[in-house]
Amino acid sequence: MFGRLLPRETSFFDFFEEHAALTIEGTKEFLSMVTTGANIPAKCRRISDIEHETDTITHRCVEALHKTFITPIDRDQIHTLITRMDDVMDYVEAAAERIELYEITTMTNDVRDLADVLHRAAQQVEGAVRGLRDLKDTHATLKLCIDINRLENEADAILRRSVARLFKEEKDPIMVIKWKEVYENLESASDRCEDVANIIEGVILEHA
């Protein structure tokens, strides 16, 4: 009788994996946009659509968390993990919106480099998230977490280099402001990937 009162088991890992897959798609779309500089409005719309899809997954996950009696990992870890994952696409969308809003059509090598690092980090995040489901190969998952941290350091270095280049080479102060915002949003997205990696690492160490 009591069992009927408990909500059906929810696979939070499905939420994580669906979210991570969409984030890869979003970062790939952004990378394509800044690589070609073409079809910016259409690509921005697609990135916005993806961000809305990830929002929906996040809301479903949080809702399920409130309704689930027993969770596979700590409740706070589930909430923080899905929230930090959601932040990644928020920042990607913010960067894309600024490129469209500011009518930027000529792309820089720095924005392409940041977008490439972020896309690779998103791919590693998906792998690390998949490793949470059964925790069978924790060594491989921890290696992915280390790779994500390395990529975040790479993004930091690119941001420092790109901002320094802006102030040294860009003569238009308005363009400095525009590009600085774009760069910082992309670097913040990489920061959130690192946060995700740190949470996953903590889950693994607790269950070791």
Domain ranges within the chain, ordered by starting residue: 10-206
Band (2; pLDDT cuts 50, 70, 90):
very low
Instruction: Tell me what pLDDT residue 15 has.
Output: 97
CATH class of domain segment(s) 10-206: mainly alpha
The overall average pLDDT reported for the chain is: 93
Most confident of 2-6, 68-72, 127-131: 127-131
Band (79; pLDDT cuts 50, 70, 90):
very high
Q: How far apart are CA 55 and CA 88, in angstroms?
A: 11
Q: How far apart are CA 197 and CA 148, in angstroms?
A: 7
Q: With 90 as the cut, is the pLDDT of residue 136 above it?
A: no
Nearest to 145 by CA among 202, 76, 91, 184: 202
Q: How far apart are CA 20 and CA 127, in angstroms?
A: 9
Are 30 and 111 in contact, with CB atoms under 8 Å apart? Answer: no
Q: How far apart are CA 184 and CA 186, in angstroms?
A: 5
Q: How far apart are CA 187 and CA 169, in angstroms?
A: 21
Judged by DSSP in three states, 34 sits in helix
pLDDT tens sequence across 80-95: 999 999 999 999 999 9
